[in-house]
A and B are shown apart, each in its own frame.
Chain A
Amino acid sequence: MLTGLTLTEARAGLAARKFSARELAQAHLDAIGRLNTQLNAYITVISEQDVLAAADAADARYASGDARLMDGLPVGVKDLFCTKGVKTTAASKILANFVPPYESSVTARLLEAGSVFLGKTNLDEFAMGSANITSAFGSVLNPWKRQGDDSALVPGGSSGGSAAAVAAGLALAATGTDTGGSIRQPAAFCGIVGLKPTYGRCSRWGTIAFASSLDQAGPMTRSVADAGLMLEAMAGFDEKDSTSSNRPVPEFSKAVGKSVKGLRVGIPAEYRAPGMPEEIAKMWEQGIAWLREAGCEVVDVSLPHTKYGLATYYIIAPAECSSNLARYDGIRFGERKDAATLDGIYERTRAEGFGQEVRNRILMGTYVLSAGYYDAYYLKAQKVRTLIKRDFVQAFEQVDVLLTPTAPSAAFAQGENMDDPVQMYLNDIFTVPASMAGVPAMSVPVGLDSRGLPLGLQIIGRHFDEETVLSVGGALEAAAGFAHKPALHAEAGV
């Protein structure tokens, strides 16, 4: 079935003319038509006409023998990337009807590589959330179900729409963005691969900002090789983003399948959090055993400032968000609520335009930057961030990668964890430190828990060493042989 392929398989099938890009695109549009109402993975689906036109252009290039890296591959785009002429909402009411007159650098590269965009995937509002329940366009449903239990599960967040779409066969792959775990945690919850590259690897230009010093785009795919392929298409220096790196982009897909023999894998003691579910601990042990069998040397390491990661993150990210979101004032674009005074316009527009979680974070961020609190919160957090980064740099003097669980639990049900925001924030406990340090990290699905839900392990690498992360991820993937499909899937029951 065309909707069940990996990017790599589909690319080969297209090149061999086993099927056309048009057929591939049509199969995905059909799947979206059947399942999106239930999953709510897409906020906007691009018109059939436009999708098929892009597919036809790809077919023409295959026919003339000059197909590109991602030619004809149907992908979903997180609705945080501005797409020219296609509504871009950040899952917020305040941008409910915003149609950008420009294309983000990352999506421009994907288009240039021949990708066929299917639509804009749902997310937590402005990428703030870990369960995809803060979207103004409704929650996304995780296509997985617990065995014998029909509860609606969350797909994780914030890139939950992308994760659900890829898992359920509504896209071969999708873009995500990761600020504190927003690619990796939903990838783990939905049983797919999610790679957060090194900060600076992908341009942030044209991607709606949440926390500028942390935001990073990355691929969400069905295989590790796919993640390499898609990252290759997304990454690269962009003079329009002062924080983008001018390092050359390696052929990432070639890193997968390389022997990991002799690589040193660090196991950070501090990630053995008290209260970690038995099944997560077991899966982690299993991962360690697989890598040892593949020839890796396993080393215990320490990242002593890990315990401050979450607290620090929840100062720095809201601080940046409070400033980044100031531009949504109703004056130049987006939704405006009129009032008699300028302050009235601001108050009504922002109170009605932003959801509760976004408002919470703006308030937190405003507070920690305020006179009298700046030193105690923001400045202190920046100092701790430096220490967290140093932890990683020092650990990478001893080891090549780190292996940890991606999330402290499998997907939970809608309604669970929702009374207490701090409980919700704990979802990011294993993913946040790599974000704070800016190092690359990938979640790979390695197995199911006792209730049949996928679990992921996280591989963290050195700055700009995505290749080693991909190699180790490939080894883990091969050992785990994860081939499970969710309950809701384009191919199920057809």
Chain B
Amino acid sequence: MLLEARNLHIGYGDAPAVWDVSFDVDAGEIVSVIGPNGAGKTTLINAIAGLLRCRQGELRFDGADMKRVRAHDYCSHGIALVPEGRRLFTKMTVEENLELGCYLPAARAARASSLERVYGLFPILRDKRQQPAGELSGGQQQMVAIGRALMARPRIVLFDEPSLGLAPTIVDDMFDIISRVRDDGAAVLLVEQNVLKALSIADRAYVLEQGRIVATGLPDELLKQPHIREAYLGV
């Protein structure tokens, strides 16, 4: 397994947000974590990105014990985050945002080819590369956030609600891009409220409710479960 989480407990201060969560992501997989607002999805993905500390449990990435790794060293292990709400460096240009993605020496050495790849995926960003990222539309900002993650040459990309606040046509494009990221060789962990979309591209999925994993399986199996159909699809 590339990413292994065992009995993770994560919280803010004294308030626990995620209890006893276990899951895996293997190389080349797209794994979706679905669940309602406030279920702890962002907490979970932030902990895997190193932004939050796990209180208990085990977090392993390619065999390394990530609980011992400092926050700014997560990226060097091959983990890249596309955060909720994009969190771009809004005053910096598009290209500078992308360059921050390849800040570490190994990724920096491949700067030129990585930039070509990102501009190939998102040609509009090449035209806007000297503009402050904060001036772009929501969809374009999401492209920058994804591009920034790809610049790090990651082995896994963590997507946190990539469809949030985007127009429906752009949402389809985003999910196409996520599939392409996997096809290009990185594993994907996707956290989404857009359940149908998230399940349609996933190889496996987990359902997170109130900080606990309540169901897991193949997307088709999950879609057949009455609870899932009622809670997320309204049928």
Indicate, yes or no, whether A interacts with B.
no
B-binding residues in A (CB < 8 A): none
A-binding residues in B (CB < 8 A): none
